[in-house]
Amino acid sequence: MRRGELEREEEFARRLQRCREVTAERGLDALLVIGRGPDRAGDLLYLADHRPLLPGHPTLYNFRGRGFGALFLPLEGDPVLMVTTPFYGEVVIKEVRVSTDLPFAVAEVIETKGFSRGNIGLVGEDVLTVTLYKDLMRLLPKVNFVDAGDIVMNLRSIKSDYEIRILQRGAAIADEVAESLKGFLREGLREEEVVAFIVEELRRRGVEAPSATCQSGVRNSGEPMVPEGATDRVLREGDMVHMEINGRLHGYMIDICRSTVIGKPTRKHLEVLELVGEMLERSIKALRPGMRAEELERIAGEIALRRGYASHFTIAFGGPATYLGHGIGLGIDEPPILAKGMKTLIKENMVLTIEPGIYRTEVGGARVENEVLVTEDGAVPLNESDWRWW
């Protein structure tokens, strides 16, 4: 076995064992982990390296649960992965059962393993359809299902050395692409051309599912997001522009954003750009283990408030944006969420994105975003590229 394969196997073995330990601490007999592809496969990816395929048609007759997958993890004994197509790729779980009827397969596994009257933690209630949930209740009437979604979520939020190395490499690729983009960006390009450039630069570096946005001018840059991500609008002198650089490397997400102005910035341009830069720097400087997730948005928001831009910041401050940032890993938008009301404690080895933005001003909007690793006594950016492009 090659070193990389051994490291991967050991990593997943540690995850499964830690899951068992927390499950036992909860007084549960086993976990049933549900994932939905392609958008909500994170928990299955984390424990089984499986992303369900081919979603899209309704659950009818004996075709039930297409596009979903399930992992049954008892406290003792081997786990079982249940999939709805034979196209499941290379997974770390030795026993895989293929069935076009996922609830039936789950019930059969639980019964044959002797857990038909057990207390089973259910991970993935938020992705299960009502139809599939009713199927499980009908097929397993004596099982006591307990919401246990936080078990895997909490484990995923703290990154291992294995995960941090992948995220560091992804951040380095994002930096390379950002530097290339800085040299490419100019007046006369269409937003769509900028996106195409970013996507190709990511693809050339081995990034899977590369994606990007480019929002320019008063209207487009003035919104946190536009539905299409980019339009055929041509970049002109004096345009504010912000651009997302996204993708996936070895299963782990890439997520940074850069902003600037085309040509020579005005005083108002610089005021907005420098403000988001200050919010980014101050947030990273303040970040440390033990603080609550909501505290970070408050710190950034108070800066916007003092400068008269609170209503251009996040929802909590009366603005159009969602929040200051979020965790990143197998998903691009994971807990902890850095927003008012989020009491999650920040912990060492969390990886977060900090993305302060100011929107809907007379010159448009701007956002800068870096990925950040929480350390024992603070935080360090994983991105080293210059974000001050003005």
Q: Can you tell me which residue has the tokens 């970070």?
A: 296
What pLDDT is recorded for position 275? 98
What pLDDT is recorded for position 229? 95
CA distance 363 to 266: 9
Q: Can you tell me which residue has the tokens 């997520």?
A: 255
Residues 188-239 have pLDDT tens digits of 999 999 999 999 999 999 999 999 999 999 999 999 999 999 999 999 999 9
Residues 239-283 have pLDDT tens digits of 999 999 999 999 999 999 999 999 999 999 999 999 999 999 999
Cα 210–Cα 176–Cα 169 angle in degrees, nearest 5: 75
Long-range contacts, stretch 54-59, CB < 8 angstroms, 24+ apart: 54/84, 54/85, 54/87, 59/129, 59/131, 59/132
Average pLDDT, the chain: 96
Residues 350-370 have pLDDT tens digits of 999 999 999 999 999 999 999
User: Among 12-21, 47-56, 349-358, which stretch is predicted with the lowest mean pLDDT?
Assistant: 47-56
* % residues pLDDT > 90 (the chain): 93
Residues 93-121 have pLDDT tens digits of 999 999 999 999 999 999 999 999 999 99
Tell me, what amino acid is at 364? G
Please state the rounded mean pLDDT for residues 165-184.
Answer: 98
Other residues' Cβ atoms within 10 Å of the Cβ of residue 271: 16
Task: Please check the confidence at residue 324 and state whether its pLDDT lies above 80.
Answer: yes
Domains of the chain, with CATH numbers?
3-156 (3.40.350.10), 158-381 (3.90.230.10)
Please state the rounded mean pLDDT for residues 48-54.
Answer: 90
Task: Please check the confidence at residue 89 and state whether its pLDDT lies above 90.
Answer: no
pTM: 0.94
Assign 62 a pLDDT band (cuts: 50, 70, 90).
confident
